[in-house]
Each structure stands twice: as structure tokens, then as C-alpha cells.
Structure 1
């Protein structure tokens, strides 16, 4: 039996064949990217839509981007509420903006009881206006503790203690959203 002798000349084609074989295997067995679950795709899309703006605003203020995103989620039902779709108001801020307002029903807590009332909310031309006005709104004295918050949990409590919402579980709901959707990665 004659042993096979490999020279440089016939080794190169063999190496090329091996390389091509391994490369094709990579493409055959490459894990496919998971498509977004249609049930929750809107959630990731909403986060991505506002995350960059939230991060930019965090640089200008001390409000963590995760808090801004969580508030927008909670207050606007992922941008799907009537207030969000009709008035671009992601944060449930009442009043008027550039003489624009939208009257909508809202749930409030009075003496521990949840009631629904109609109230005037600010109406914006864009979501970005809503986000910037939200930051201006939080410059008020009631929210000074936000500026000294060391993390999103302290900031959530500062919002609740400042009276942002009448819901007694407001801070807890924000923290839960931040942790469930890992929004702290945006801080």
C-alpha cells in the first residue's frame, strides 16, 4: 500500500474544499433570529420609538431614561391610549400646551377610592414635544428629590411622593415595568 503524499500543490485545493464545507455548514446551522412575538411586538417598538429621546433628556436632566420610558408605558398604555393617539400625550399631563387641550376621561384616586372623571389634558403635535414638556413639568418644586435620586427606584418613589399620580401603587408599578422589560439598560 502506497502512502498518500501531499504536496503544497495538492494541499491547497483540499484546504479550500474543507473551508467551503465548514462555511456552508455555518449557514445551514446558523441560528435564525427569532421574529418578534406579534402579541408583544408593539411593546418593543414603543420602547425603541422613545428610548433615544429619553436618553437625550436624561443627559439634560437627572431623570433616568428608564423612568421616562416606564411612565410613558404606564400612562399611555404603550402609546395606544386615546390620549396618546389623539393628543400625543404620553404622560397624562393635565392642562393645555400652546393653547391646545383634549378633554378625556381619567381614573383618579380620592380617599382611597378609584373614580373616573373628565379632565383637560395637554395636546401636543408630536411625541417629542410631550417628552420635553414632561421634563419641564418635573422641574417643579414638588419633584426636587428626583434630581438627587441615585437609581430608578428612588426616582419612582420621588415621583409618587411629589404627587405625580394619585395611584397609591404608582412607584411600585413603574419599578415593576423597569425590571420586567429591563429598562434600566437605557440609563
Structure 2
């Protein structure tokens, strides 16, 4: 049985070509594995980003709710202030009436004067307390709006940190109220 040298050379060339194809397939497989690993990393990062976005969304919702609460508190304080001003006016009128009555009758009872002074003092203390509360709320609102304005100046990647600081400030102001 004789083997033709041209057939042998053709077989060797075909073997070399198959070896070359096998090497190319191995390289291609390696590239695909590397690419798949990169895609897995990108998928993990995307999931992390999605979780952060959801967290920021919850923070924004909480901030909106707190803003509405603060508006309601402000309206309540303003109503209390109006009521106190009316009450003080009423007490002042009563005081003037009683003083006029005392002068008209010539009756200078110290107890009536002391009672009027007590009423005036109570009304003024209540008004002072409401004014302090109003200033306190205004200060908290100013701090929150300052933090929110700083948040708008922060670049997109640093914004997460600024938002969490605003959230911390708001939660601290909630705790200080209780």
C-alpha cells in the first residue's frame, strides 16, 4: 500500500488548518468569557444604581410629605398668632373698660387691677411662646431650604450624598420637634 506524497502533504496541510481553526476558536471562546464577565459586572452596577435611585425616590417623597407637614404647622401657628392678637386686644379693651369704671365710680380696688395685670401677662406670655415657635419653625425651614439649594449645586454623582444629608437634616428636625 503506497501513500501518495501529495495526499500526505494535503492531509498535513489540512491538520495544520484544523489546528489553526481550533486555536482561533479557543481565542474566540476566551473573548466571549471576558465579555460575559464584563456584562455581569455591568448588570451588578445597574442593579446597584437602580436601588440607589429607588432610595432617592423614597427620600424625595419623604421630603415632600415633610414640606406639606411644615406648611400645615405654619398655617396653624399663624392662626394661633391671630387668635392671640385678638385675645390681647380683648383683654386691653376690658382693662380700659374696668379702669374707666373704676375711675367713674371712684373705686380703686387693687384686686381688679392685679387680676387685669395677670390676664395681660398670660396673654403676652402666650404670644411670646407662639412667636418663639414661629421663629424656630422658620429657622428649620431656612436650614432645609439651604440644604436643598446646596443639593441643586452638586454634580450628578455627588448628588446622592447631598440628598442623604438633606434627609438627615429633616429627620433631625423631626426628632427635635418631639
Q: Please give the TM-score of this superposition, normalised by the length of structure 1.
A: 0.29
Which structure's residues are more often strand, by fraction?
1
Which structure's residues are more often helix, by fraction?
2
Structure number with larger C-alpha Rg: 2
Q: Please give the TM-score of this superposition, normalised by the length of structure 2.
A: 0.31
